[in-house]
Amino acid sequence: MSWATRTSPIRVGDRIAYAKRFLQSIGCHIGGMASARGHVIAIEALDEAILARIDWDTPGFPDRVNVKNLSLVKNGMVMEHD
């Protein structure tokens, strides 16, 4: 397991959502992507990127997402990180 994978703020089993800054950067800060929630089922390294494999609550979203584009969900609140 690489250093980047071990130090990722997103871990297997975490409940996640798309990060607010990512959604704003692609112009999707409202609607389906903004309300999407899922669970991380695996973490994978792809060159320099760390990808989370996600089991989404709603179908139709990519099953692998860069962890930089995700935020943790705790107690129903999206926790932003840098």
Beta carbons within 8 Å of 75's beta carbon, 6+ residues apart: none
Q: What is the pLDDT of residue 78?
A: 77
| Model confidence at 68: pLDDT above 70 | yes
Average pLDDT for the chain? 85
- Does 78 reside within a domain? no
- Does 80 reside within a domain? no
Domain containing 32 equals: 3-71
Domain count, the chain: 1
Domain containing 49 — which CATH number? 2.30.30
Which tens digits make up the pLDDT trace of 21-51? 999 898 876 778 888 999 999 999 888 889 9
Alpha carbon 68 to chain centroid, angstroms? 7
Coil, strand or helix: which one is 53?
strand
